[in-house]
Amino acid sequence: MPFIADALLRVKPSATIAVTQKARDLKNAGRDIISLSVGEPDFDTPDNIKKAAIAAIERGETKYTPVLGIPPLREAIARKFKRENNLDYKASQTIVGTGGKHILFNAFLATINPGDEVIIPAPYWVSYPDMVLIAGGSPVPVATRIEQGFKLQPEALEKAITPKTKWLLLNSPSNPSGAAYTHAELKALTDVLLRHEHVWVLTDDIYEHLIYGDFKFATPAEVEPRLIDRTLTMNGVSKSYAMTGWRIGYAAGPEQLIKAMDMLQGQQTSGACSIAQWASVEALTGPQDFIAERRKIFEERRDLVVSMLNQAKFLQCPSPEGAFYVYPSCAEAIGKTTPEGKRIDTDEDFVAGLLEAEGVAVVQGSAFGLGPNFRISYATATSVLEDACVKIQRFCSSLA
Ligand SMILES: Cc1ncc(COP(=O)(O)O)c(C=O)c1O
């Protein structure tokens, strides 16, 4: 009998981590490599946030915290939801966890019984299906189309719902496509959910602040207040405040669900890091102007990358509304051959060929459940992005 639990046999290793490791190995072997595979802002955590953490250490805020989080942070989260999303959550309806990932995981562990289904629009963040599988549920990927901006359509949602559906998992702006739903697009989806009272919505809003042009961010419970009693609105400081290493995520939802997650977390990690929680109070309540400044830089990079990729032979790259990813299609490159005689049959072959020929690391679409595409993270210096796009163009031109 195998010693390792069956639940883990269902899980795949993270493709993004695998690509990052391969790029690292090639670099160590002396190759000149550009990695566009990372999922974190290249900016540093703002100084006022760092100082709040130092002050917390000096005040002796170094002990266990309540499982659901320190009261000032839970208050700040409730105020953030009111201020930015027009959502009336009480502090008692909030939970703080060790990163957004932890919150999502615990929401699934706290609610999923064997056979329960979770609808996940594809392309999706690599971790979603595996989290559902570990919790004993069945991920139900629903393909979206590039022509529809990689957004779930109401008819497709209606068709995917069964009596076993527990959650619809939405992520806007999306990792990996950057797609973000407008108020009207979300309303079309929440209208479907109103007809299916057993389905809850888990909305991963972690890229909320990374939106471009005049796009307005919206979240399901704001668009359809009648869904508030079956919505978990998840967010975190990792991406908006460049705090990936601090490991703070949070959510708000019905008290019954928050209580279940409290019980689970109490037997698991307990409260999140006390110092990171105090830093997050400063993130949510301190000056917010740097977000707009960084957003502008990301937007310029998005425009550069989209324009340069659309000039590459065989690639089609929509301009997404948010996050720091683009998700070009390489469908026209399938069936072509590299100068070394290697045939490109899949997006994985495309990505491997690009890494080998030009030293540019990107992640294949098959990892995100929809291809042939690949994901580029543009959370990298503009000059490096320019260089990488020239190399991608050269690789595409070399295919015949
Ligand atoms: C869509 C999405 N949700 C959640 C997370 C996890 O965020 P955290 O670092 O707060 O765990 C990520 C990080 O890559 C993400 O891309």
* Domains present along the chain, CATH in parentheses: 6-44+290-398 (3.90.1150.10), 63-285 (3.40.640.10)
pLDDT at 12 (0 to 100) = 78
Q: Is 244 exposed, middle or buried (0-12, 13-18, 19+ CB in 10 A)?
A: middle
Expressed in angstroms and rounded, the spacing between residue 335 Cα and the centre of ligand 1 is 34
Whether the CB of 175 sits within 6 Å of ligand 1:
yes
Expressed in angstroms and rounded, the spacing between residue 225 Cα and the centre of ligand 1 is 25
Expressed in angstroms and rounded, the spacing between residue 238 Cα and the centre of ligand 1 is 7
| Averages of pLDDT over each 10 residues, the chain, 400 residues | 85 77 88 89 94 98 98 98 98 98 98 97 96 96 97 98 98 98 98 98 97 97 98 97 97 98 97 98 96 95 98 97 98 96 95 94 95 96 96 98
Tell me how many degrees the CA angle 365-369-375 measures, rounded to the nearest 5. Answer: 25
Tokens standing for residue 353: 């060929």
* Residue 177 to residue 319: CA distance in whole angstroms: 9
pLDDT at 15 (0 to 100) = 74
Tokens standing for residue 207: 């890229």
Whether the CB of 206 sits within 6 Å of ligand 1:
yes
Whether the CB of 235 sits within 6 Å of ligand 1:
no
Expressed in angstroms and rounded, the spacing between residue 325 Cα and the centre of ligand 1 is 13
* Residue 318 to residue 179: CA distance in whole angstroms: 9
The packing angle between helices 382-398 and 347-358, to 10°, is 110
Instruction: Enumerate residues 6+ apart whose C-beta is below 8 A from 35.
Output: 19, 20, 23, 24, 361
pLDDT at 75 (0 to 100) = 98
* Residue 82 to residue 222: CA distance in whole angstroms: 10
Expressed in angstroms and rounded, the spacing between residue 334 Cα and the centre of ligand 1 is 31
- Ligand 1 atom index nearest CA of 101: 11
Expressed in angstroms and rounded, the spacing between residue 359 Cα and the centre of ligand 1 is 26
- Ligand 1 atom index nearest CA of 98: 11
Whether the CB of 166 sits within 6 Å of ligand 1:
no
pLDDT at 164 (0 to 100) = 98
Whether the CB of 121 sits within 6 Å of ligand 1:
no
Instruction: Enumerate residues 6+ apart whose C-beta is below 8 A from 399.
Output: 313, 314, 333, 336, 337, 338, 344
pLDDT at 359 (0 to 100) = 95
Whether the CB of 204 sits within 6 Å of ligand 1:
yes
